[in-house]
Amino acid sequence: MASITLPQAIEVPATPGTLKLVQRERLMIGAHIITAMLALMTGIFMGPFQTFHRSPTFVQYFPNIPVFTYYYQAVTVHGVMNALFFTTFFIVGFSYFVVERSLQRLLKSVRMGWVAYVLMAIGLVIMLITILGSPQQSAVLYTFYPPNIAPALFYIGLVLLVVGSWLAAANIFLTYQGWKREHPNERVPLAVLAIMVNFLMWCVGTIGVAVEILFMLLPASLGIIKTTDPQLARTLFWFFGHPLVYFWLLPAYVSWYTMLPRQAGGKLFSEPLARVAFLMFLIFSVPVGLHHQFSDPGISASSKGIHTLLTMIVSVPSFMTAFNVGAALENAARNRGAKTLFDWPFKQKWGDPIVAAQLSGMLLFIAGGFSGLINASSQLNATIHNTSWVPAHFHTTLGGAVTLTYISILYWLLPAIRGRALFSKPLALAQVFTWLIGMALFGFAMGEAGLNGAPRRALTSQSPYLSPAAAFWLDVTAVSGIILMVSSVLLYINFFGTLFLSRQPAPESEVPIETVSSDRTSPLWLERWGLWFGVLGVLLLIAYGPVFAEVLDFQEGWNILRYMPTSNAPMP
Ligand code: HEM
Ligand SMILES: [Cu+2]
């Protein structure tokens, strides 16, 4: 396993004498990561206040909690900025870094990289202006399907984000293709295989949302069409919505599989197994969207059953990951002197924020993953559907595992790009543990509230029918909100501190990225993308063919002219 040490700038040996260009690369990755963190800052700023507004006791004692007055505006800003903009910017920047570093070559086109960035950034600005400028009209939430219709600019912001991400994907594919041409008989490094899988899956999944926006939402918003079909729109949205969650997760897996073993001082158990896991994500994470629509009428139970089955299958590569990465961590602990059956989790580098953040993320992911299996089974889903159990689930997965892993990446990538050491390691450690405790409490309390009937997406402090048990757990959630607020402040002290105040040079540490695959045993056909696309196509046909036949309602003629959208989100 070769590795490269990181000087002030990213030097890509394959292109000697182009340091200026290389500097520009560094700028580009930096621009993505910094923009991502600014989007997250706007988004998580809302989070604690949402927990306060949902807590009956909190509102009783502090009736005039500041920050926002219209609840759905806050939830929209929070969801859109965190789940759509922060993630996409971070993933694109990190993926560029991984691909360039692993393949030892520059991106195919720096110019295309900037065009993509600018499109996404304009999308971000348009989106923020729209949500802040017209809170009632644009509070359609990050799931934005009809009947609520937002101002056209909301959708244009989204289109720019998606088109930008497609350009980024094309850039990555072309870079890979260039490498493959020069190395036809080599296995691509695992991290790059995973990034390829992630963007291929993203390109397929985003077709759903592109069709929804271009043919339904945008024309409705502009008044070109007067009616819409929420069922069809929801189906198109969730065709995209589940690949979306894996789009967030796979970069975290890249870190767990290809960086954490070395950071923790161990060795990955099996690289071929990891490759198979990523390919399983490619083919199984798209044909499962109906698990978000178990309560939807107009879709047959058999289709829902097929999607349940496929969802259970897509949990298999996650179990494979738990085993593979778990074994790597055990190996790391044995190297550090762990002897007994159960002491290896304690013998990890818990004092290193980069390792601790990922381990904490994994702990949260265990809870989040299992709660996901409950969501995914059609019958159990009925008990938790649209309750606060659901945000509990995705704050331990997305807000916990994924976000903490991105933060761990930030803690080495930002210094590498800025050329200055992380502002404060102890603060970083405190941030990681407060986030772990805060999200664990948030997950538990919101989950309990949900089981006791608290709805999600509701100003529960005002609801007359809240059970005492639900009210209690929502109060506990507000406590988790305070802890998470502290953690967020620590995060941004370190972020801005590293950018502006840190004076130490970045450590000449190794960036944890492999440059050649150490794997000599995986079959090369694992990289036959045409084959995997074929398999995915067949699965999609089986899983979605009947669904679209149902929602498009061919029996009564092609009927999508059923519903008059109201133009406003619900009023407070
Ligand atoms: C400071 C930490 C955070 C707190 C206290 C927090 C709090 C909340 C609360 C209370 C809700 C529920 C709103 C409702 O259903 O009425 C919510 C929703 C949500 N949160 Fe967070 N959150 C935090 C961080 C994050 C992060 C880091 C992400 C993603 C990267 C995230 C993504 C979401 C999403 C996607 C929703 C759903 C919005 C919707 O239902 O439309 N949150 N959050
Ligand atoms: Cu899903």
**Atom of ligand 1 at shortest distance to CA of 446?**
10
Which ligand is closest to the CA of 315, given by its number?
2
Three-class secondary structure of residue 455 per DSSP: strand
Which phi and psi angles does 141 have, rounded to 5°? 70, 165
In the block, tokens 């350009």 appear at 167
Select which of 394, 406, 442, 472 is catalytic. Answer: 394
pLDDT class of 191 with cuts at 50, 70, 90: very high
Select which of 53, 307, 395, 420 is catalytic. Answer: 395
Select which of 72, 97, 246, 257 is catalytic. Answer: 246
- Judge whether residue 563 has pLDDT over 70: no
pLDDT class of 64 with cuts at 50, 70, 90: confident
Does residue 460 line the site of ligand 1, with CB under 6 A?
no
- Say how many CA atoms lie within 13 Å of 308 toward its Cβ: 15
Does residue 488 line the site of ligand 1, with CB under 6 A?
yes
Using CA positions, which residue lies closest to atom 4 of ligand 1? 47
Q: How far apart are the first and last CA of the chain?
A: 58
Three-class secondary structure of residue 36 per DSSP: helix
* C-alpha 406 to ligand 2 mean position (Å): 20
* C-alpha 393 to ligand 1 mean position (Å): 11
Using CA positions, which residue lies closest to atom 42 of ligand 1? 399
- Predicted TM-score (pTM) of the model is 0.94
CA angle 313, 318, 322 (to 5 degrees): 140
* C-alpha 242 to ligand 2 mean position (Å): 4
* C-alpha 318 to ligand 1 mean position (Å): 23
Predicted pLDDT at 414? 93
Length of the chain: 572
Using CA positions, which residue lies closest to atom 35 of ligand 1? 79
Does residue 317 line the site of ligand 1, with CB under 6 A?
no
For the ranges 52-66, 161-175, 346-360, 516-530, the lowest mean pLDDT is seen at 516-530
Predicted pLDDT at 20? 42
Does residue 431 line the site of ligand 1, with CB under 6 A?
no
Predicted pLDDT at 253? 98
Residues above pLDDT 90, as percent of the chain = 78
- Judge whether residue 45 has pLDDT over 80: yes
* C-alpha 182 to ligand 2 mean position (Å): 38
> Do residues 115 and 171 touch, judged by C-beta distance below 8 A?
no
pLDDT class of 234 with cuts at 50, 70, 90: very high
CATH of 21-507+528-556, one of 3.40.50.10330, 3.20.20.70, 3.40.50.1440, 1.20.210.10: 1.20.210.10
Residue 97 DSSP symbol:
H
Predicted pLDDT at 508? 64
* C-alpha 449 to ligand 2 mean position (Å): 21
Which ligand is closest to the CA of 248, given by its number?
1
Mean per-residue pLDDT, 199-220? 96
Q: Among 58, 75, 78, say which to mutate for ligand 1: greatest number of ligand atoms within 8 Å of CB.
A: 78
Does residue 47 line the site of ligand 1, with CB under 6 A?
yes
Predicted pLDDT at 29? 95
Using CA positions, which residue lies closest to atom 43 of ligand 1? 47
* pLDDT digits 0-9 by tens, 540-549: 999 999 999 8
Task: Please provide the average confidence, as pLDDT, over all residues in the chain.
Answer: 90
* C-alpha 285 to ligand 2 mean position (Å): 8
Predicted pLDDT at 556? 52
Active-site residue, 292 included: no
**Atom of ligand 1 at shortest distance to CA of 458?**
16
Predicted pLDDT at 510? 61
Mean per-residue pLDDT, 377-393? 94
DSSP string, 313-364: HHHHHHHHHHHHHHHHHHHHHHHTT--SSS-TTTTS-TTSHHHHHHHHHHHH
Does residue 395 line the site of ligand 1, with CB under 6 A?
yes
Mean per-residue pLDDT, 287-293? 95
Domains of the chain, residue spans:
21-507+528-556
Select which of 53, 54, 242, 275 is catalytic. Answer: 242
Spatial separation of the C-alpha atoms in residues 311 and 394, rounded to whole Å: 16
Predicted pLDDT at 335? 94
pLDDT class of 66 with cuts at 50, 70, 90: confident
- Judge whether residue 571 has pLDDT over 60: no
Active-site residue, 294 included: no
**Atom of ligand 1 at shortest distance to CA of 481?**
5
Active-site residue, 457 included: yes
**Atom of ligand 1 at shortest distance to CA of 477?**
10
Mean per-residue pLDDT, 278-302? 93
* C-alpha 376 to ligand 2 mean position (Å): 8
Active-site residue, 394 included: yes
pLDDT class of 69 with cuts at 50, 70, 90: confident
Predicted pLDDT at 159? 98
Using CA positions, which residue lies closest to atom 6 of ligand 1? 47
Predicted pLDDT at 323? 96
Residue of 226, 293, 376 lying closest to 548 (CA atoms): 293
Spatial separation of the C-alpha atoms in residues 410 and 94, rounded to whole Å: 9
* pLDDT digits 0-9 by tens, 95-139: 999 999 888 888 999 999 999 999 999 999 999 999 999 988 999
Predicted pLDDT at 237? 97
pLDDT class of 509 with cuts at 50, 70, 90: low
- Higher per-residue pLDDT: 555 or 283: 283
Using CA positions, which residue lies closest to atom 25 of ligand 1? 399
In the block, tokens 């509070």 appear at 139
Residues above pLDDT 70, as percent of the chain = 92
Which ligand is closest to the CA of 488, given by its number?
1
For the ranges 178-182, 329-333, 554-558, the lowest mean pLDDT is seen at 554-558
- Say how many CA atoms lie within 13 Å of 60 toward its Cβ: 7
Does residue 390 line the site of ligand 1, with CB under 6 A?
no
Which ligand is closest to the CA of 291, given by its number?
2
Mean per-residue pLDDT, 408-426? 93
Residue of 423, 474, 478, 412 lying closest to 448 (CA atoms): 474
Predicted pLDDT at 117? 98
